[in-house]
Amino acid sequence: MRTYYEDYAVSGVSIWSMLAPGRRCISLPSSVTACTLPTAYCTMEPILLAFNSSFSGWVIADFCPRLDITKDVLYVGDILENNIYNVGNMAKHATSAVTTAVGTPNIALIKYWGKRDYTGLNTPNNSSISMTLDETLSTRTSLIFSDKLSKDTLYINGIEEAVSGENIPEKSAYLKRTLDYMRKLSGTKENALIVSENSFPSSAGIASSASGAATLVFALSNALNLKMSLKDMSIIARQISGSACRSLFGGIVKWNKGSKADGTDSYAEQVFDETYWPELIDIIAIVDPSKKKVSSSIGHAATVKTSVLYTARPKFAEKGIYDIEKAVKDRDIDMLSMTIMRDSNNMHATMLDTWPPIMYLTDASKEIIYGIHDMNDTEGKCIAGYTFDAGPNAHIITTEKYRKRVNEMLEHTGVVRKALESHMGKGPRLLREDGSLIDEKALKPKHAKH
Ligand code: PMV
């Protein structure tokens, strides 16, 4: 377990006099290797590492935006070991073969809505908790680093997406920043070809960005041989798309909001593994597979800025997490269903209260909401609950026992175009069998659309 100490007091070490006031510094037990240090801070700033003499005792690191250094440097005691142990040299290099990973979306049972940082850290105002889905819905990502590639290239669902230049989407810019950061950790300078495909509609509120970002970070970490923990990967994935941090783990996953300004304590962790409640299912009722009209990045900011109701949301969500943990622990579908429905409604109420209003739910979504309430009323308890992300498609959480009943109700609404079913999934994995999306010889995607 790592322990971080803010502004660790160091006296008698002359290098500290060089550091600008207000520096950020962390200290770690010496058992932590230097190449794992920077994963806690997604920064492209040069890094200064200061070890006490002979690498024993504590390792102290500072990122030095205001120091006049242009490359990574290392001090042992207060002797400059010029660039001998820079971060790149300490890390492993990229593999030259294609790496392929498969990951899945997660459905938030208590939602993340509203950030406290808008510089790209994606730290949230409230903690959230989710269920990772199985591979019924999945993202497959293949990537390769090669000195034969003249630039970084990304294909999503067969279409090339720009990762640099003016006016690229925010998430693509974050993705590029992550790629640069992880590449730097590995010490390689080679460009990457990244090919990613979703087995489900993208940007339709079915967490495609969560699945995509988590799978990408997992694949990058493996391709670059970085040997990162899932927790550190979750901190990095969070910075591409907040909810992505939860897709690094299987089962029921909590994203701790954290309180530090640098986001190092805002990470995901598993609360129950995927075997804990095998009967639990998510029936995904697709009513409209088209792209959502307001991106979640814009929505988060607009709600925090303008909704009066939003001020009550963080506290409500924190209590909801407690209730979800208890409901899952007791395998209590009644309590679980009620808690997720109330949280989804609460989040969508703050969206409607945003100015101008954001409305992801459609008449079709409302038919499903009414259908579930009627069904639960007839049963005398909640046998299923709905929850909606930033889109009109419903996730209905229930158990195998009530599957037939829920599907009949859905059919009766007449609004569902397609229903998929998922149990809890295990989180991302490497695909060792033949499943690459890249033609390794041609260094091209196998299925590009032109
Ligand atoms: O991770 P983002 O920025 O796409 O935001 C996702 C927000 C919700 O899906 C609505 C809720 C959640 O916690 O997943």
The contacts of residue 18 (CB under 8 Å, 6+ apart) are 67
- State the distance from the centre of ligand 1 to the C-alpha of 444, rounded, in angstroms: 32
The tokens for 364 are 């079709």
Residue 409 C-alpha to ligand 1 middle, in angstroms? Answer: 27
Arithmetic mean of pLDDT, 42-46: 39
Q: Hey, which of 206, 296, 310 would you mutate to test ligand 1's pocket, going by the most ligand atoms within 8 Å of its Cβ?
A: 296
d(CA 271, CA 323): 13
296 CA to centre of ligand 1 in angstroms = 7
- State pLDDT tens for residues 189-225: 999 999 999 987 665 556 678 999 999 999 999 999 9
Global pTM reads 0.80
C-alpha pair distances (Å), 122 with each of 24, 117, 235, 281, 296? 19, 6, 10, 29, 12
| Residue 253 alpha carbon to ligand 1 centre in Å | 14
Tokens of 425: 């999934």
**Of ligand 1's atoms, which has the minimum distance to the CA of residue 107?**
14
What distance in Å separates the CA atoms of residue 235 and residue 237, rounded to the nearest whole number? Answer: 6
Write down the mean pLDDT value for the chain: 82
Cα–ligand 1 centroid distance for 414 (angstroms) = 27
Q: Where are the domains positioned within the chain?
A: 14-90, 99-429
Q: Any idea how long the chain is?
A: 450
- pLDDT tier at 289 (50, 70, 90 boundaries)? confident
- Give the number of the atom of ligand 1 that is nearest the alpha carbon of residue 244: 1
Q: What confidence score (pLDDT) does residue 206 get?
A: 63
Q: Which atom of ligand 1 is nearest to the CA of 111?
A: 13
pLDDT in tens, 110-129: 999 999 988 889 999 999 99
Burial (CB < 10 A; 0-12, 13-18, 19+), residue 81, is middle
Give the right CATH number for 99-429 from 3.40.190.290, 3.40.50.1100, 3.30.230.10, 3.40.30.10. 3.30.230.10
- Residues having CB within 6 Å of any atom of ligand 1: 108, 111-113, 128, 209-210, 241-243, 296-297, 389-390
